Structure 1
Amino acid sequence: MKLEPELRDTFMAEAAADDRPAAQVMRELMRDYITRRREARDYDEFVRRKVEVARKQRDAGLHFSNEEVEADAASRRVDLLRRAGDAGL
Protein backbone atom coordinates (compact mmCIF):
# COMPACT_ATOMS: atom_id res chain seq x y z
CA MET A 1 0.00 0.00 0.00
CA LYS A 2 1.14 3.48 -0.77
CA LEU A 3 0.51 6.04 1.94
CA GLU A 4 1.27 9.68 2.19
CA PRO A 5 4.26 10.07 4.51
CA GLU A 6 2.37 12.39 6.88
CA LEU A 7 -0.55 9.95 7.17
CA ARG A 8 1.81 7.04 7.81
CA ASP A 9 3.84 8.94 10.40
CA THR A 10 0.72 10.16 12.23
CA PHE A 11 -0.75 6.66 12.22
CA MET A 12 2.47 5.12 13.53
CA ALA A 13 2.64 7.76 16.29
CA GLU A 14 -0.97 7.13 17.35
CA ALA A 15 -0.45 3.37 17.42
CA ALA A 16 2.69 3.84 19.50
CA ALA A 17 0.81 6.19 21.85
CA ASP A 18 -1.69 3.38 22.42
CA ASP A 19 1.25 1.00 22.98
CA ARG A 20 0.01 -1.18 20.13
CA PRO A 21 1.86 -2.48 17.10
CA ALA A 22 0.80 -0.63 13.95
CA ALA A 23 0.39 -3.95 12.14
CA GLN A 24 -2.12 -5.12 14.74
CA VAL A 25 -4.13 -1.89 14.39
CA MET A 26 -4.05 -2.24 10.59
CA ARG A 27 -5.32 -5.83 10.79
CA GLU A 28 -8.19 -4.70 13.02
CA LEU A 29 -9.04 -1.83 10.67
CA MET A 30 -8.97 -4.16 7.68
CA ARG A 31 -11.17 -6.75 9.41
CA ASP A 32 -13.64 -4.04 10.43
CA TYR A 33 -13.73 -2.70 6.88
CA ILE A 34 -14.33 -6.18 5.44
CA THR A 35 -17.10 -6.84 7.97
CA ARG A 36 -18.83 -3.52 7.22
CA ARG A 37 -18.66 -4.09 3.46
CA ARG A 38 -20.06 -7.62 3.77
CA GLU A 39 -22.87 -6.40 6.01
CA ALA A 40 -23.67 -3.62 3.55
CA ARG A 41 -23.81 -6.08 0.65
CA ASP A 42 -25.95 -8.50 2.68
CA TYR A 43 -28.35 -5.69 3.58
CA ASP A 44 -28.54 -4.52 -0.03
CA GLU A 45 -29.37 -8.07 -1.11
CA PHE A 46 -32.00 -8.36 1.66
CA VAL A 47 -33.67 -5.14 0.49
CA ARG A 48 -33.50 -6.23 -3.15
CA ARG A 49 -35.25 -9.51 -2.29
CA LYS A 50 -37.91 -7.71 -0.22
CA VAL A 51 -38.62 -5.32 -3.10
CA GLU A 52 -38.81 -8.22 -5.53
CA VAL A 53 -41.35 -10.03 -3.32
CA ALA A 54 -43.38 -6.84 -2.87
CA ARG A 55 -43.46 -6.23 -6.62
CA LYS A 56 -44.63 -9.78 -7.26
CA GLN A 57 -47.36 -9.38 -4.64
CA ARG A 58 -48.40 -6.06 -6.17
CA ASP A 59 -48.50 -7.56 -9.65
CA ALA A 60 -50.61 -10.46 -8.35
CA GLY A 61 -53.06 -8.05 -6.73
CA LEU A 62 -52.01 -9.08 -3.22
CA HIS A 63 -51.53 -5.59 -1.84
CA PHE A 64 -53.45 -2.91 -0.01
CA SER A 65 -53.35 0.82 -0.49
CA ASN A 66 -52.27 3.06 2.35
CA GLU A 67 -55.84 4.29 2.64
CA GLU A 68 -57.13 0.73 3.06
CA VAL A 69 -54.54 -0.02 5.74
CA GLU A 70 -55.32 3.21 7.62
CA ALA A 71 -59.08 2.53 7.46
CA ASP A 72 -58.58 -1.00 8.81
CA ALA A 73 -56.37 0.28 11.63
CA ALA A 74 -58.94 2.96 12.55
CA SER A 75 -61.69 0.35 12.62
CA ARG A 76 -59.61 -1.91 14.87
CA ARG A 77 -58.86 1.00 17.22
CA VAL A 78 -62.57 1.81 17.53
CA ASP A 79 -63.36 -1.85 18.24
CA LEU A 80 -60.58 -2.17 20.84
CA LEU A 81 -61.66 1.01 22.60
CA ARG A 82 -65.28 -0.19 22.64
CA ARG A 83 -64.28 -3.56 24.10
CA ALA A 84 -62.03 -1.86 26.69
CA GLY A 85 -64.95 0.36 27.66
CA ASP A 86 -67.28 -2.65 27.92
CA ALA A 87 -64.74 -4.35 30.18
CA GLY A 88 -64.53 -1.27 32.38
CA LEU A 89 -60.93 -0.45 31.53
Structure 2
Amino acid sequence: MSFFEDIGRNNAQLSHLRKALAQLPHSIPLGNSKYNFEHYAPDPERVELYGSTEAALNNVLEVTFAPRGRKDESAPCPFEFQDVP
Protein backbone atom coordinates (compact mmCIF):
# COMPACT_ATOMS: atom_id res chain seq x y z
CA MET A 1 0.00 0.00 0.00
CA SER A 2 1.13 3.49 -0.63
CA PHE A 3 1.57 6.15 2.02
CA PHE A 4 -1.53 8.01 0.81
CA GLU A 5 -3.69 4.87 0.87
CA ASP A 6 -2.58 4.30 4.48
CA ILE A 7 -3.54 7.86 5.40
CA GLY A 8 -6.93 7.51 3.70
CA ARG A 9 -7.63 4.24 5.53
CA ASN A 10 -6.54 5.73 8.86
CA ASN A 11 -8.74 8.80 8.30
CA ALA A 12 -11.74 6.55 7.64
CA GLN A 13 -11.01 4.53 10.80
CA LEU A 14 -10.60 7.70 12.88
CA SER A 15 -13.86 9.07 11.50
CA HIS A 16 -15.65 5.85 12.46
CA LEU A 17 -14.09 5.96 15.94
CA ARG A 18 -15.11 9.61 16.37
CA LYS A 19 -18.74 8.76 15.50
CA ALA A 20 -18.74 5.78 17.89
CA LEU A 21 -17.25 7.82 20.74
CA ALA A 22 -19.77 10.61 20.21
CA GLN A 23 -22.56 8.12 21.04
CA LEU A 24 -21.17 7.28 24.49
CA PRO A 25 -22.85 8.75 27.58
CA HIS A 26 -21.11 11.60 29.40
CA SER A 27 -20.40 9.37 32.40
CA ILE A 28 -19.86 5.64 32.58
CA PRO A 29 -20.42 3.71 35.84
CA LEU A 30 -17.28 2.11 37.24
CA GLY A 31 -16.83 -1.26 38.90
CA ASN A 32 -19.61 -3.78 39.28
CA SER A 33 -22.41 -1.33 38.70
CA LYS A 34 -25.88 -2.77 38.40
CA TYR A 35 -28.22 -1.36 35.79
CA ASN A 36 -31.75 -0.65 36.88
CA PHE A 37 -34.30 -1.68 34.25
CA GLU A 38 -37.24 -0.73 36.48
CA HIS A 39 -38.39 2.08 34.17
CA TYR A 40 -37.30 0.45 30.90
CA ALA A 41 -39.91 0.55 28.15
CA PRO A 42 -39.15 -1.11 24.81
CA ASP A 43 -39.77 0.63 21.53
CA PRO A 44 -43.38 -0.21 20.50
CA GLU A 45 -42.27 -0.70 16.89
CA ARG A 46 -39.75 -3.35 17.99
CA VAL A 47 -42.40 -5.07 20.12
CA GLU A 48 -44.65 -5.26 17.06
CA LEU A 49 -41.80 -6.39 14.84
CA TYR A 50 -40.53 -9.15 17.17
CA GLY A 51 -43.89 -10.15 18.66
CA SER A 52 -43.30 -9.56 22.39
CA THR A 53 -41.73 -7.21 24.91
CA GLU A 54 -39.21 -9.89 25.85
CA ALA A 55 -38.12 -10.39 22.25
CA ALA A 56 -37.75 -6.62 21.75
CA LEU A 57 -35.58 -6.38 24.90
CA ASN A 58 -33.54 -9.38 23.74
CA ASN A 59 -32.88 -7.64 20.42
CA VAL A 60 -31.74 -4.44 22.14
CA LEU A 61 -29.37 -6.41 24.38
CA GLU A 62 -27.96 -8.39 21.44
CA VAL A 63 -27.35 -5.26 19.37
CA THR A 64 -25.77 -3.48 22.35
CA PHE A 65 -23.58 -6.22 23.82
CA ALA A 66 -22.93 -8.52 20.86
CA PRO A 67 -23.30 -6.49 17.65
CA ARG A 68 -21.47 -9.15 15.64
CA GLY A 69 -23.16 -12.06 17.37
CA ARG A 70 -21.52 -14.71 19.50
CA LYS A 71 -18.91 -16.85 17.81
CA ASP A 72 -20.22 -19.98 19.50
CA GLU A 73 -22.26 -21.01 22.52
CA SER A 74 -19.14 -21.51 24.66
CA ALA A 75 -18.44 -17.76 24.68
CA PRO A 76 -18.90 -16.30 28.18
CA CYS A 77 -21.91 -14.11 28.83
CA PRO A 78 -20.71 -10.53 29.45
CA PHE A 79 -23.41 -9.76 32.03
CA GLU A 80 -25.68 -11.48 34.51
CA PHE A 81 -29.33 -10.75 35.26
CA GLN A 82 -30.49 -10.54 38.87
CA ASP A 83 -34.07 -10.53 40.11
CA VAL A 84 -34.95 -7.63 42.37
CA PRO A 85 -37.03 -8.70 45.39
Q: Could you say which TM-score interval applies, normalised by the shorter chain? A: 0.3 to 0.5
Q: TM-score, normalised by structure 2?
A: 0.33
Higher relative helix content: 1
Structure possessing the higher relative contact order (Cα contacts under 8 Å, 6 or more residues apart) = 2
